[in-house]
A and B are shown apart, each in its own frame.
Chain A
Amino acid sequence: MVEEYNMDTGVLTRRAWRRQTNMGGEGDWDIEIGDPEPTRLQKEICVIKEDSNQPFITRRITKNILEWRIRNLPYPLDVYSVTADSENRCLIVRTTNKKYYKKLTIPELDRVNLVPQQDAIQFTHKYNTLIITYKKPKEVVLQEKIIFEEIVKKVEAKPGDKINDCKVS
């Protein structure tokens, strides 16, 4: 797992997980927060992938909210509905024209063992993008604070340490 923080604001800008594979070798990255991996030279000739005009999701977090941006969604605002599904611990994005459907998991809530609440959800639509925001519960804010302080402590304990000097291979 890799995390990138903005040290001025203390906000996480990127978190990615290496996917586990059964067969050994290195899996691809799962991006939890931040921009998706840029598409570069594909390892193999692509078999099947979504068209570049299809919707894709990026996630961001700020101090008080969790945010999803679903780009390439051209339909007007009243088409969408976002509901909290407490049973499956996720948000469900639906469209009345049956063009898009997505279950969004919220790992932050899972980690503090909370279920999503409907009244924390807000969404808007602008420039072909559906923006969904979810207000962080105070448990999440508290936990993030503790983790960040821990990290700061680690960094300050060893000033000039080779944090950015880790070997690539």
Chain B
Amino acid sequence: MAAAAAAKVQEVREITRIERVGAHSHIRGLGLDDSLEARHVSQGMVGQVSARRAAGVVLQMVRDGKIAGRAVLLAGQPGTGKTAIATALASALGYDTPFTSMAGSEIYSLEMSKSMALTQAIRKSIGVRIKEESEIIEGEVVEVQIERPAAAEGTKVGKLILKTTDMETVYDLGGKMIDSILKEKVQSGDVITIDKATGKITRLGRSFTRARDYDATGQQTRFVQCPEGELQKRKEVVHTVTLHEIDVINSRAHGFLALFSGDTGEIKPEVREQINGKVAEWREEGKAEIIPGVLFIDEVHMLDIECFSFLNRALENEMSPIVMIATNRGITRIRGTTYKSPHGIPLDLLDRLIIIPTVPYDQKELQEILSIRCEEEDCQLSDEALTILTRISMETSLRYGIQLITTSSLIARKRKAPEVQMEDVKRAYELFLDEGRSVQFLKEYQQEFMFNENDEDESQMEIN
């Protein structure tokens, strides 16, 4: 009996937690109130009040959608929440607004020129909302079967049985579909619609015939009739696609070749121009609506001077999105030149930016972040342990402090303690070196490492 109950709990956990815990998975939004004032601790965000407020203003600008081609720079030391603010902005925007996130180094590829990669990223950040006739499956869920392969690898296999009052059909599910079904927690008795092309699931409610299944139902449970007639219907639905997706559909070389290679390859500028014209036409006819989104480029100092001048030009286009860039560099060399400039960004581009600074966290904020992370990583820390962890984060870095959470909780689990105590944190601190101690160690034992006979001035790292 107890074993069965345990198995049940295991199963429930598996459904609710399908995502892994990432560095920023505790962030759910910017944590602003209605007047765009930042709450001190909210939606996973802590401190950084003025930066968050500024991001809120940017958010408003994106939502209004009127201003094209503005650029925002997030500047601050490492570990002060630049990427966190960008992630928060993305989740605050909602699913309909495109948000493209990339790192500066991503544009360097042998298959694609730098400007091509940037153009693609820019066009991925502009959405077009358009009406299109699409195939919709609408029915009541009879059964969801999802089988995981016995070995850890291999694809999941899924089947979905849907019915209307007149018919019943079995559908095979692809991997993406299985994930979204798990995420939406679709279960038998739900009445859903699935967009056949995009796989988007909309839950209409629960079927009346299942109304008696549970005594306790949530307040917002809506009961609907089981649909009639055919399962598959053609309906006009509103899609949001990005300009890049329209480019891909229309560039002919691809349509066929993409079958085999799967990559996007070069898209001709003529095609782009044509599509810009077409989209403008649709817009005038009222068929489509343009939703400018956000392009976020992290580690922007990795872009070189060519990219910066390209960006300068691209920002002037009225079809360009809001570009958000982040860097943790101070005055440094612009990549590809010998000039030095603040943030490694040329002054002419810097002049076009609005700059949001982030400042280091204070002790209280660090403690708050650490306790949020503890919750996210599912670790119980005693108060003492949290205090000492905060101290460690103050002296070394926040990232190192966060690393110690799971490691020390694993150490605590080994000695079967329900909670992480101070000694566990200490033990983890001894086991894993932070950056400062590692440098110290290297300085002491430099002589015994390989290639240490290189003389000082030559060992400078080549960065260009």
Q: Do the beta carbons of A25 and B250 come within 8 Å of each other?
A: yes
Q: Do the beta carbons of A98 and B255 come within 8 Å of each other?
A: no
Q: Do the beta carbons of B165 and A23 come within 8 Å of each other?
A: no
Report the separation of the CA atoms of residues A23 and B199 in the bound assembly, to the nearest whole angstrom.
18
Within 8 Å CB of B165, what residues of A? Answer: 98
Within 8 Å CB of B166, what residues of A? Answer: 94, 98, 101
A7 within 8 A of B: no
Q: Do the beta carbons of B170 and A101 come within 8 Å of each other?
A: no
Report the separation of the CA atoms of residues A14 and B355 in the bound assembly, to the nearest whole angstrom.
64
Which of A22, A45, A101 meets B230, CB within 8 Å?
Answer: A101
- A8-45 contacts to B, CB under 8 A, are 21-26, 41, 43, 45
Could you say which of A48-56, A136-144, A158-166 contacts chain B?
A48-56
B65 within 8 A of A: no
B340 within 8 A of A: no
Q: Do the beta carbons of B172 and A47 come within 8 Å of each other?
A: no
Report the separation of the CA atoms of residues A47 and B260 in the bound assembly, to the nearest whole angstrom.
18
Which of A25, A43, A53, A98 meets B168, CB within 8 Å?
Answer: A98
Q: Do the beta carbons of A103 and B230 come within 8 Å of each other?
A: yes
Q: Do the beta carbons of B177 and A23 come within 8 Å of each other?
A: no
Within 8 Å CB of A169, what residues of B? Answer: 252
Could you say which of B72-80, B89-97, B129-137, B308-316 contacts chain A?
B129-137
Which of A23, A52, A102 meets B249, CB within 8 Å?
Answer: A23
A100 within 8 A of B: yes
Min CB distance, A90 to chain B, in Å? 11
Min CB distance, A82 to chain B, in Å? 14
Within 8 Å CB of A98, what residues of B? Answer: 163, 165-168
Chain A residue nearest to B195 (CB atoms) is: A47
Q: Do the beta carbons of A24 and B246 come within 8 Å of each other?
A: yes
Min CB distance, A48 to chain B, in Å? 5
A46 within 8 A of B: yes
Q: Do the beta carbons of B130 and A22 come within 8 Å of each other?
A: yes
Chain B 138-167 per-residue mask, 1 if CB under 8 angstroms from chain A, else 0: 000000000000000000000110011111
Within 8 Å CB of B130, what residues of A? Answer: 22-23
Which of B163, B199, B229, B259 meets A41, CB within 8 Å?
Answer: B259
Min CB distance, A140 to chain B, in Å? 25
Chain B residue nearest to A100 (CB atoms) is: B167
Within 8 Å CB of B175, what residues of A? Answer: 45
Q: Do the beta carbons of A51 and B197 come within 8 Å of each other?
A: no
Min CB distance, A151 to chain B, in Å? 30
Chain A 80-100 per-residue mask, 1 if CB under 8 angstroms from chain B, else 0: 000000000000001100111
Q: Do the beta carbons of A50 and B174 come within 8 Å of each other?
A: no
Q: Do the beta carbons of B174 and A45 come within 8 Å of each other?
A: yes
- A115-151 contacts to B, CB under 8 A, are none
Q: Do the beta carbons of A46 and B171 come within 8 Å of each other?
A: no
* Given contact pairs A24-B249, A25-B249, A26-B255, A51 touches B230 in the complex (Cβ within 8 A): no
Chain B residue nearest to A41 (CB atoms) is: B259
B425 within 8 A of A: no
Q: Do the beta carbons of A51 and B159 come within 8 Å of each other?
A: yes
Within 8 Å CB of B196, what residues of A? Answer: 47-48
Which of A41, A47, A51, A102 meets B174, CB within 8 Å?
Answer: A47
Within 8 Å CB of B230, what residues of A? Answer: 101-103
B169 within 8 A of A: yes
Report the separation of the CA atoms of residues A43 and B174 in the bound assembly, to the nearest whole angstrom.
13
Report the separation of the CA atoms of residues A48 and B159 in the bound assembly, to the nearest whole angstrom.
9
Chain B 189-209 per-residue mask, 1 if CB under 8 angstroms from chain A, else 0: 000001011110000000000
Within 8 Å CB of A21, what residues of B? Answer: 132, 249
B222 within 8 A of A: no
Min CB distance, B26 to chain A, in Å? 30
* Given contact pairs A24-B250, A25-B255, A98-B167, A47 touches B198 in the complex (Cβ within 8 A): yes
Chain B 1-25 per-residue mask, 1 if CB under 8 angstroms from chain A, else 0: 0000000000000000000000000
Report the separation of the CA atoms of residues A23 and B131 in the bound assembly, to the nearest whole angstrom.
10
Min CB distance, A25 to chain B, in Å? 4
Q: Do the beta carbons of A48 and B249 come within 8 Å of each other?
A: no
B280 within 8 A of A: no
Report the separation of the CA atoms of residues A21 and B197 in the bound assembly, to the nearest whole angstrom.
12
Report the separation of the CA atoms of residues A103 and B167 in the bound assembly, to the nearest whole angstrom.
12
- B102-145 contacts to A, CB under 8 A, are 130-133, 137
B241 within 8 A of A: yes
Report the separation of the CA atoms of residues A94 and B267 in the bound assembly, to the nearest whole angstrom.
49
Chain A residue nearest to B288 (CB atoms) is: A22
Q: Do the beta carbons of A101 and B255 come within 8 Å of each other?
A: no
Report the separation of the CA atoms of residues A24 and B281 in the bound assembly, to the nearest whole angstrom.
13
Within 8 Å CB of B167, what residues of A? Answer: 95, 98-102
Chain B residue nearest to A98 (CB atoms) is: B166
Q: Do the beta carbons of A47 and B197 come within 8 Å of each other?
A: yes
**A-B contacts besides A41-B259, A48-B171, A101-B230, 11 pairs, CB < 8 Å:** A24-B278, A25-B249, A45-B175, A47-B197, A47-B199, A48-B173, A48-B196, A54-B169, A98-B166, A99-B167, A100-B168
* Residue ranges of B at the interface with A (Cβ–Cβ < 8 Å): 130-133, 137, 159-160, 163-177, 194, 196-199, 229-230, 241, 246, 249-250, 252, 255, 258-260, 275, 278, 287
A-B residue pairs in contact (CB < 8 Å), sample of 15: A23-B132, A23-B241, A24-B249, A47-B198, A50-B171, A50-B172, A51-B171, A54-B169, A98-B166, A98-B168, A99-B168, A100-B167, A100-B168, A101-B167, A101-B230
